[in-house]
Chain A
């Protein structure tokens, strides 16, 4: 693990990605305590304020402090995106590895089903699921997780197929191990590295998908300080106070870039040939 960090630090994108993601995580965890104001308290006298010394990023249409809203909202945006990616990754990895392990007709049936699901764009898929389950942050999380599953299953299966041919899997079958043990203990640990890279890059997509769902009014509901929702609400006031839409947009972009860089760095660091 220590060696991995050392290798990450050597590549510029890995280092920058680590810094950005670490900062975001610190904000997501400590946000509510370091926020200078309450994110949901209306202040009718302080509406549409440009950045000042009291309000570093200005205030919104109800006079709420934008910095505080961003700090508190980081949790529901970044952490939710990571959870959704983890959910999709876990489900996809399990399906992909099992499919590769079973092989033959079962593999064919599973992968063609996955293909069918994959032909629906992930945003459309997420919209469909949220519409069915109802509007809420938790449902959006499930929707994104499910939307990510087919892609992850594909990536995992391609790696797992190579692992399936290794003699340690043959040895386990010859020994009479259960399918569960072979998939969980023999195969999954050996497909983890490429999956982690894929997952990291997908977190960036998840942040944007979350923001998109909230923007469309299907994810977090007002007055929650969710970043996508903030962008959506401030759209109407773009003309008179542009910083209202600027700050949350910049935050979303930063997280997406951070996770993308981290993924690139991880890919290089986990590849023994570089």
Chain B
């Protein structure tokens, strides 16, 4: 008998315009000791399914079909029955441990609450048991961790506490909703290893929801591919990934970056003078407060970048990788004049020592594209106005009509000309990022800084955006500073890769010499932590 059985389950949300279908005739089963990977892009309904199983749906939800845990039906269960099941028989691990833990309670209090509630332990016993659980999930010094508040623990430590809570009552089923997406590559690897170990030991049935096919292929036994609320394919992991039958699965697998598969053909001229040379760039955060300067107190300042030196040649794609907080974006902001910096930038032979020296010519030649197009495109401006600003500022219309130039810019990023009259919220995520790319290319720049530009996009959209960037690079010979945390992706397109760690540049290496040529310990660790690409396993 399956632990979890979902039979022909459909879910609609009532919206002002009528009913919006979130899940359409979903059927899946998970047996004891089995890990089912649920793979889908954003909006495919994977999280809705997790909430439906947890019986935590908004009032606007209309459902049909059946969900059962063992022999007990969950659809139609009373609130009392559900309360007895949640946390005890079904555990859940969320995406971001920063928001799934209550910041005003100690980690210990949140863990022992579950034990007191569902296992009927006394407070003292629960604390002892909690420490044992924290030790089990690999936290050093569990007694001290019990007394800490969430902000005193790192992201990885918090996620371990959440996992300990989920496993605390030996549940029959655990739902994992993208548990490693908010974590750094190395931490994510450790969490996945921990998960595999606990899974082996407890034989719990797991539903592992993720958009990352590489992660799912590493830990799941079976996989279900969901597309627009509809399960298009289910089967053992090897079968589905090696011989996909559905066209959507094929497209998804095709889009996953494979480091061995280079998609950039150009090579920068090794002899040419560097386009941009950054010399010992340093950025510190924090303002000296008036009172402490009056009292002559020294103030600890946070270093975002420490003496970063690198060069970019014309037509080169330089990848910058590193975990969050390693100073990648800080460097991008310093180079575009958004952060004051120390050190010197030489651009095309001209020295730029500070923000004031960044004149119109520099700003025209160095453009930046941000991570999230929702925030980088002004929601109150039409695409036409967004694209016309660089034209007006740098006078790039060259006598042509602005209207035609904008149509040309949109054409260049494969968008129809009538998009000029739309607002950003009328576009999809990929289309918005294309508008942001068009804006960056409007001034015919020599260097474009791409700051994690694909990390908010789905994998299939990401592949198309990367293909577009590569195409633009081929046509214009633009240099890219490509910032990302996805090593597999950057190895496909970059000529050289710079690795950053805690604000410092630890390694600058030609991509052809990876992975063997890496000398820095951190780089090696990072390379080892990246989920192996699908082709290697399937």
Residues on A lying within 8 angstroms of B by beta carbon are 104, 166-168, 170-177, 185-186, 189-190
Q: Which residues of A contact B338 (CB under 8 A)?
A: 170, 173-174
* A166 x B375 contact (CB < 8 A): yes
Residues on B lying within 8 angstroms of A by beta carbon are 287, 333, 336-338, 358, 360, 363, 367-368, 370-372, 375-381, 389-390, 393, 439
- B368's closest neighbor in chain A, by CB? A174
Bound: A166/B389 CA distance, A? 17
Bound: A177/B381 CA distance, A? 15
Q: Which residues of B contact A172 (CB under 8 A)?
A: 389
Bound: A176/B377 CA distance, A? 16
Write 9 A-B pairs (CB below 8 A) sorted by A numbering.
A104-B287, A171-B370, A174-B336, A175-B389, A175-B393, A176-B363, A186-B378, A189-B380, A190-B378
- A173's closest neighbor in chain B, by CB? B338
B370's partner among A170, A177, A190 (CB-CB below 8 A) is A170
- B378's closest neighbor in chain A, by CB? A168
Bound: A168/B337 CA distance, A? 14
Q: How far is the CB of B374 from chain A (nearest CB, A)?
A: 9
User: A104-B287, A170-B370 are contacts. A175–B378 as well, Cβ < 8 Å?
Assistant: no
- B287's closest neighbor in chain A, by CB? A104
A175's partner among B287, B363, B375, B377 (CB-CB below 8 A) is B363
- A108's closest neighbor in chain B, by CB? B290
* A168 x B376 contact (CB < 8 A): yes
Q: How far is the CB of B328 from chain A (nearest CB, A)?
A: 15
Q: Which residues of A contact B390 (CB under 8 A)?
A: 175
* A177 x B393 contact (CB < 8 A): yes
Q: Please indicate which of the listed interface residues B358, B371, B381 has the most CB atoms of chain A within 10 Å of its own CB.
A: B381
Q: Which residues of B contact A189 (CB under 8 A)?
A: 378, 380-381
A174's partner among B287, B337, B372, B377 (CB-CB below 8 A) is B337
Q: How far is the CB of A88 from chain B (nearest CB, A)?
A: 23
User: A173-B337, A173-B338 are contacts. A167–B379 as well, Cβ < 8 Å?
Assistant: no
Having A175-B390, A190-B379, one finds 6 other A-B pairs with CB under 8 Å, namely: A166-B375, A170-B333, A174-B336, A174-B337, A174-B338, A176-B358
User: A175-B363, A176-B363 are contacts. A167–B376 as well, Cβ < 8 Å?
Assistant: yes
Q: Which residues of B contact A185 (CB under 8 A)?
A: 381
* B363 x A174 contact (CB < 8 A): yes
User: A174-B368, A176-B360 are contacts. A168–B336 as well, Cβ < 8 Å?
Assistant: no
* A176 x B336 contact (CB < 8 A): no
Q: Which residues of B contact A175 (CB under 8 A)?
A: 363, 389-390, 393
* B363 x A167 contact (CB < 8 A): no
User: A104-B287, A176-B360, A176-B363 are contacts. A171–B393 as well, Cβ < 8 Å?
Assistant: no
Q: How far is the CB of B402 from chain A (nearest CB, A)?
A: 16
* B377 x A168 contact (CB < 8 A): yes
Q: Which residues of A contact B377 (CB under 8 A)?
A: 168
Q: Which residues of B contact A186 (CB under 8 A)?
A: 378
* A168 x B375 contact (CB < 8 A): yes
Q: Please indicate which of the listed interface residues A168, A186, A190 has the most CB atoms of chain B within 10 Å of its own CB.
A: A168
Q: Which residues of A contact B336 (CB under 8 A)?
A: 174
User: A176-B360, A176-B393 are contacts. A171–B380 as well, Cβ < 8 Å?
Assistant: no
Q: Which residues of A contact B370 (CB under 8 A)?
A: 167, 170-171
User: A176-B363, A189-B380 are contacts. A167–B375 as well, Cβ < 8 Å?
Assistant: yes
Bound: A87/B371 CA distance, A? 39
- B337's closest neighbor in chain A, by CB? A174
Bound: A167/B386 CA distance, A? 13
Bound: A168/B380 CA distance, A? 11
B376's partner among A171, A177, A190 (CB-CB below 8 A) is A171
Bound: A185/B392 CA distance, A? 14
Q: How far is the CB of B442 from chain A (nearest CB, A)?
A: 10
- A104's closest neighbor in chain B, by CB? B287
Bound: A190/B375 CA distance, A? 12
Bound: A176/B389 CA distance, A? 10
Q: Which residues of A contact B287 (CB under 8 A)?
A: 104
Which 10 pairs show the lowest CB-CB distances between chains A and B? A167-B376, A189-B380, A167-B370, A176-B363, A174-B336, A168-B378, A167-B375, A166-B375, A174-B368, A168-B376
Q: Which residues of B contact A176 (CB under 8 A)?
A: 358, 360, 363, 393
User: A173-B338, A175-B393, A176-B360 are contacts. A190–B380 as well, Cβ < 8 Å?
Assistant: yes
Q: Which residues of B contact A166 (CB under 8 A)?
A: 375-376
Q: How far is the CB of A2 from chain B (nearest CB, A)?
A: 13
Bound: A185/B393 CA distance, A? 14
Bound: A148/B32 CA distance, A? 67
Bound: A168/B377 CA distance, A? 5
Bound: A185/B378 CA distance, A? 9
Q: Which residues of B contact A104 (CB under 8 A)?
A: 287
* A171 x B360 contact (CB < 8 A): no
Q: How far is the CB of A187 from chain B (nearest CB, A)?
A: 9
Bound: A186/B368 CA distance, A? 17
Q: Which residues of A contact B337 (CB under 8 A)?
A: 173-174
Bound: A171/B389 CA distance, A? 11
- B379's closest neighbor in chain A, by CB? A190
Bound: A171/B338 CA distance, A? 9
* A167 x B372 contact (CB < 8 A): yes
Bound: A156/B378 CA distance, A? 18
Bound: A99/B13 CA distance, A? 43
* B368 x A171 contact (CB < 8 A): yes
Bound: A186/B380 CA distance, A? 8
Q: Which residues of A contact B372 (CB under 8 A)?
A: 167
Q: How far is the CB of B284 from chain A (nearest CB, A)?
A: 15
Q: Which residues of A contact B439 (CB under 8 A)?
A: 171
Bound: A190/B378 CA distance, A? 8
Q: How far is the CB of A103 from chain B (nearest CB, A)?
A: 10
- A170's closest neighbor in chain B, by CB? B338
Q: How far is the CB of A102 from chain B (nearest CB, A)?
A: 13
Bound: A168/B389 CA distance, A? 12
Bound: A177/B380 CA distance, A? 17
Bound: A168/B338 CA distance, A? 12
Q: How far is the CB of B304 from chain A (nearest CB, A)?
A: 15
Bound: A104/B337 CA distance, A? 17
Bound: A164/B358 CA distance, A? 21
Q: Which residues of B contact A177 (CB under 8 A)?
A: 389, 393
Bound: A168/B378 CA distance, A? 6
- A188's closest neighbor in chain B, by CB? B380
- B332's closest neighbor in chain A, by CB? A174
Q: Which residues of A contact B358 (CB under 8 A)?
A: 176
Q: Please indicate which of the listed interface residues A173, A175, A185 has the most CB atoms of chain B within 10 Å of its own CB.
A: A175
